[in-house]
Structure 1
Amino acid sequence: MLPLGGLGEIGKNMTVVEYDGKIVVIDAGVRFPTAEQVGIDLVLPDFSYLKDRAQDIEAIVITHGHEDHLGALPYVIKQLGGARRAPKIYGRPLTMAMGRSKLDEHRLREVELTDVQPGSEINLGTFKIELIHATHSIPDACNVAVTCGAGTMLFTGDYKFDQTPVDGPPADFLRLARFGKEGLLMLLGDSTNVDRPGWSPSESLVGPALYDVFARQRGRIIVTSFASNLHRVQQVIDAAVELNRKVCMLGRSMRKNTNIAKALGILDIPEGVLVQPRDLEHLPDHRVVVMSTGSQGEPLAALRRMAFRDHPQIRIHDGDTVVFSATPIPGNERAVNETIDKLYQAGANVITHKDAPIHASGHGYQEEMKMMLNLTKPKYVMPLHGDYQRLQLHKRLAVSVGVKEDNVFCAENGLPVEIDARGARFGKPVPSGVMYVDGTDIGAPADAALRDRRSLSADGLFVVVATIGDDDGKTVAEPELIFRGVPFKDEADALLEALRDQVDASVERAAADDIHDLDEIQRILHDDVAQLVWEKLKRRPMVLPVVVAV
């Protein structure tokens, strides 16, 4: 078992199971960039290990349709050689529909995706795969059992034991218990809510709470949630219909997922309920519900743009109520709080899960995790899907229900666990880390590039252009000085004469020292200008010197 993502972090889940030279990959997720990763669009697992072993991959199995489990799929396929060389991909129908949509966007239409129903077995020669029905905050979630000659490994994926789910039967307790009776070699389990005691609340409690909140509002209602939380989308629509309100979907992913789920019959939306953003100006505020992306404070999401008064179609005004039907993912708290503050400044009232029970986590709490361990009775446990604190807490939880401490492996990305007849142990680490999606490029920008971006965002940019004579190296034209994004612009303007004098002095010094190499002159200019700016502004903007010889 080789985790390539999801350990020591929340996101970019990906785990490799390898036996007898063959591979099955469970999940292919992304993580969203931190504030320090300036200009990065997505963070992917480093799957160079798979690139070198592409011919050995029997299948990729996706547990459910959330971005942190599915979002990297197009990039993985590209790295493995494109659509013609892609392994088969398996998952439940909604998951595969979301996967097809992503692959279509990347023009990978020839990739084979197979819908699998719970209880069906997939025979791959070396491996046997089974999907087990699970409950989560998105329909068609599943646990995945991978059986090979060594035994059976069960990946929980994201799960909770919701006794009253809103979209069908509860989790398949009977099948999980059979694993415990038959003998489960290893459980690889979700660690997200291991720090929360007790049981997670049922999703079925959220619908009535949303209705109560909606019924008290007299103006527009704007609800934000994960675009993939289709249970929540359905309950928002149901409450809106009851209160004779129209619903407008805002955000590309919200519209796309709604269309997919509607086509599959997962969402039940009465005719005439959905309206376009352009129709909102013709509706009174008390007839409007807007369902928007942006529950995590994402910079380009619809709600964030509304909060900063930058949305082209909707402007927040007095009387609006914004309902956060989600909780911040660890690490996103600052962005969410900033969005909420801006919404208040724009005149809206904001309701969060602290004010009313309008959100239920899709991840089980401690008692549900104990139940998973007690039902399946694994010999070995590997905590997944959590930062290092959560992995350690999961280990303690497993030990508390009877798993031997030496049989719980808190690994890290790139550190495999090897199991054979002699037992289980950590293996030799393989290269791991992250790859970045930056625009249309995939790769690992050098640390220097990210440092440069952080410097530009903090202190701005100075461009210094010096024109010198090709024969004697002396200045032949007045230096050009351009700066962008520099704090204290008034002080910077006052610096212009001093900077021009410094450029002339630096060029003259280089000429006197008989220095004609342009790179060396640029280095001198850089150091002298940077020193002067620091002395005057106490700032370290990026300095780009350009020397032109004529």
Structure 2
Amino acid sequence: MPRRRRRRRFAPPSSATACSRRFEPESPEPHGVSSTVSGGFGLSGALRVLPLGGLGEIGKNMTVVEYEGRIVVVDTGLMFPTPDQLGIDLVLPDFTYLRERADDIEAIVLTHAHEDHVGALPYVLREIGETTVPAIYGGPLTVEMVRSKLEEHNLKKAPLQAMEAGEEVDAGPFVVEMVKMSHSIPDAFAVALTCDLGTTLLTGDYKFDQTPVDGVPADMARLAELGRDGVLLLCGDSTNVDRPGIALSESSVGPELKRVFGRCEGRIVVTSFASNVHRVQQVVDAAAANGRKVALVGRSMRKYVNIARRLGHIDVPEGLLVGVKEIAQFPDHKLVIVSTGSQGEPLSALRRMAHSDHPQVDLHEGDTVIFSATPIPGNERAVNETVDRIYQLGAEVITARDAPIHASGHGYAEELKLMINLTSPRYVMPFHGDYRRLQLHARLAESVGVPPENIFRGENGLPLEIDERGARFAKREHAGLVFVDGVDVGNVEDVALRDRRMLSADGIFIVVATVSEQDGHSVAPPELIFRGVPFLEEGDGVLDELRGAVEDSLARSAREEIREISLLQTHLHDDLAAFVYERLRRRPMVL
């Protein structure tokens, strides 16, 4: 069982710093050397920090921390597909490295329960074995949400263990400590991993909210204590590094929601992340203050709220909640619907409402839909389409551009500076962001006094190694993308995605030709089958031209005495593709 304790494992770092070169992404070979570090950490062996996801991208956060051949994995997140990844449901980190080192894993530690930090866990456990990992640690809410997710995947034996903030537990050569942070979900922790070389602090997602909804701010005192003891490496969230100042407090959203609710005469639909428990609490409070009942719509919304209520994170007045099937029993001005779908997800409740496809909720004139969330990068198009459909149905839409009804769960630039100043790390490695944000975070660290040679701008698959000589990047490990396509995991090749894009854009042509085995001449008129090709219809004169092009190609191949079927297919494909592009300026798939 985890137990609370405090350890001082190494002396604070001296003011003299090591000299190491940063890895530049454009370099053909990653490199980095450092001179010997005086004091602080002088034992043999190297600490190795290997990001498998979360660097150079938004999402699929996963980091391997290794010492003396033993591994602690921090987070197992997923990412949602981009619009050009057609037919893909989820994008996971490539965990080949974990599969090959499964016996060396001491623990998986989860910073919080958002999908970009825990969503890949079922797939990881299937890959390496559900009971291979000795323990999976997380906060109480994280553990319960993950348990529900694993049960959906029929994984019921995973060794989940809840830890409270401030508790520590041994994991091989590491001491794992959870440090309370503020985020848009309760039980969000930074993870301090201490070994004989020092402490690596992975912040997870955080902000320094001084007036959080649950009244429990980030444990800045413990962060400062870790800083006094000496933090060897800080791996910090870069999400909002490009936003100056500090983030709005989550508790500022509640009063604004009450005011917005008070102005609405008809039915209100609020959409937010199902896991944003604090936001749901404030919606409930605003509804109660305005004399409205609350209905939860969306499977994940109901599931997460039930878990949060059971753990005491949401307080709902008795009689306030009504079932989704009871919605029709209440007048519009007495009802608030809390729905999933803030990111325009295809099968979410709000998306179905917007397309008049929801079995219980029909949006209509007089409704007000409140987006109490901002689009994740890459989701803007889906969100805009959903908003447009809602307007088409006659409802009104309110977003964070219209009123301060959303507060980010990620700290702004001044909060990232505060994290560095509190923890006084020897080395800094920006995490959780695309390349632009990682670069900005590196500059920010330099601006508050971290020597530039001690700031490492990493990439997925590029391990940072730290020992008594200093810090440097080591040989790159395999790290990439794993696609989930229905029930198929990992077998979708780039060529398949390319073919899907081609089919979606320009359709497909299938040519059926019969040729003589003796002389290669066409013995029957060619048949053309097409689907989804723009500007082409049966009876169109272009089809006759296409048939003529096929016959010309076959005749030319016959004259050149081409008999090999594969070569004949190649000639026919190239000739027809060129003709179609010349006539239609399209590139359909030609078979």
TM-score by length of 2: 0.87
- Structure 2 residue 413 is the aligned partner of structure 1 residue 366: yes
2:587 match: 540
CA RMSD after TM alignment: 2.1
2:224 match: 177
1:32 match: 80
Contact 1:434 1:444 in 2 (8 A): no
2:161 aligned residue (111, 114, 131): 114
The aligned runs of 1:67-86 (5 Å cut-off) are 67-80=115-128, 82-86=129-133
Q: Tell me: CA distance 1:465–1:261, structure 2 relative to 1, closer, same or farther (3 Å).
A: farther
1:389 match: 436
1:293 aligned residue (326, 329, 340): 340
- Residues 468-513 of structure 1 show CA distances to partners (whole Å, capped at 9, x for unaligned) of 5666655565544332222224488443333334444444554555
Q: Give the SS at the match of 2:426.
A: strand
In structure 2, C-alpha distance between the alignment counterparts of 1:519 and 1:89, rounded to whole Å:
53
The aligned runs of 1:419-458 (5 Å cut-off) are 419-443=466-490, 445-458=492-505
Q: Tell me: CA distance 1:539–1:114, structure 2 relative to 1, closer, same or farther (3 Å).
A: same
Q: Tell me: CA distance 1:281–1:530, structure 2 relative to 1, closer, same or farther (3 Å).
A: farther
In structure 1, C-alpha distance between the alignment counterparts of 2:336 and 2:530, rounded to whole Å:
45
- How far did residue 22 of structure 1 move? 0.7
- Structure 2 residue 102 is the aligned partner of structure 1 residue 54: yes
Contact 2:181 2:206 in 1 (8 A): yes
2:422 match: 375
The structure showing larger relative contact order (alpha-carbon pairs under 8 Å, at least 6 residues apart) is: 2
1:189 match: 236
1:548 match: none
The sequence identity of aligned pairs, in percent, is 64
- How far did residue 207 of structure 1 move? 0.9
Q: Give the SS at the match of 2:82.
A: coil
1:11 match: 59
In structure 2, C-alpha distance between the alignment counterparts of 1:490 and 1:250, rounded to whole Å:
44
Q: Give the SS at the match of 2:513.
A: strand
In structure 1, C-alpha distance between the alignment counterparts of 2:104 and 2:540, rounded to whole Å:
62
In structure 1, C-alpha distance between the alignment counterparts of 2:515 and 2:250, rounded to whole Å:
71
- Residues 308-357 of structure 1 show CA distances to partners (whole Å, capped at 9, x for unaligned) of 44444433221111111011223333332333233222222111112111
- How far did residue 102 of structure 1 move? 1.7
Contact 1:391 1:410 in 2 (8 A): yes
1:125 aligned residue (164, 167, 172): 172
- How far did residue 9 of structure 1 move? 1.2
2:272 aligned residue (218, 221, 225): 225
Contact 1:464 1:482 in 2 (8 A): yes
Q: Give the SS at the match of 2:73.
A: strand
- Residues 237-280 of structure 1 show CA distances to partners (whole Å, capped at 9, x for unaligned) of 22222223232223332222122222323222334433344333
- 5+ unaligned residues in a row in structure 2: which ranges? 1-48
- How far did residue 144 of structure 1 move? 0.6
The aligned runs of 1:76-475 (5 Å cut-off) are 76-80=124-128, 82-443=129-490, 445-468=492-515, 475=522
In structure 1, C-alpha distance between the alignment counterparts of 2:442 and 2:154, rounded to whole Å:
42
In structure 2, C-alpha distance between the alignment counterparts of 1:104 and 1:46, rounded to whole Å:
23
Q: Tell me: CA distance 1:277–1:541, structure 2 relative to 1, closer, same or farther (3 Å).
A: farther
Contact 1:486 1:492 in 2 (8 A): no
Letter in 1 for 2:256: A
In structure 1, C-alpha distance between the alignment counterparts of 2:218 and 2:112, rounded to whole Å:
14
In structure 2, C-alpha distance between the alignment counterparts of 1:301 and 1:95, rounded to whole Å:
22
- Residues 155-177 of structure 1 show CA distances to partners (whole Å, capped at 9, x for unaligned) of 11111111111123111122111
- Residues 200-254 of structure 1 show CA distances to partners (whole Å, capped at 9, x for unaligned) of 1111111111111111111121111111111111111222222232322233322
Q: Give the SS at the match of 1:84.
A: coil
TM-score by length of 1: 0.93
Contact 1:297 1:332 in 2 (8 A): yes
Contact 2:247 2:410 in 1 (8 A): yes
- How far did residue 73 of structure 1 move? 0.6
- How far did residue 293 of structure 1 move? 1.8
In structure 1, C-alpha distance between the alignment counterparts of 2:296 and 2:557, rounded to whole Å:
63
Q: How many residue pairs align between the two structures?
A: 543
Contact 2:108 2:133 in 1 (8 A): no
Stretch of structure 1 that moved more, 492-501 or 243-252: 492-501
Letter in 2 for 1:346: L
Q: Give the SS at the match of 2:530.
A: strand
- How far did residue 283 of structure 1 move? 2.8
- How far did residue 372 of structure 1 move? 1.4
In structure 1, C-alpha distance between the alignment counterparts of 2:433 and 2:172, rounded to whole Å:
32
- Structure 2 residue 587 is the aligned partner of structure 1 residue 529: no
Stretch of structure 1 that moved more, 14-23 or 297-306: 297-306
Q: Tell me: CA distance 1:468–1:276, structure 2 relative to 1, closer, same or farther (3 Å).
A: farther
- Residues 106-163 of structure 1 show CA distances to partners (whole Å, capped at 9, x for unaligned) of 2221111111111211112311101111111001101111011111111111111111
Q: Tell me: CA distance 1:476–1:306, structure 2 relative to 1, closer, same or farther (3 Å).
A: farther
Contact 1:12 1:29 in 2 (8 A): yes
Q: Give the SS at the match of 2:260.
A: helix
Contact 1:189 1:382 in 2 (8 A): yes
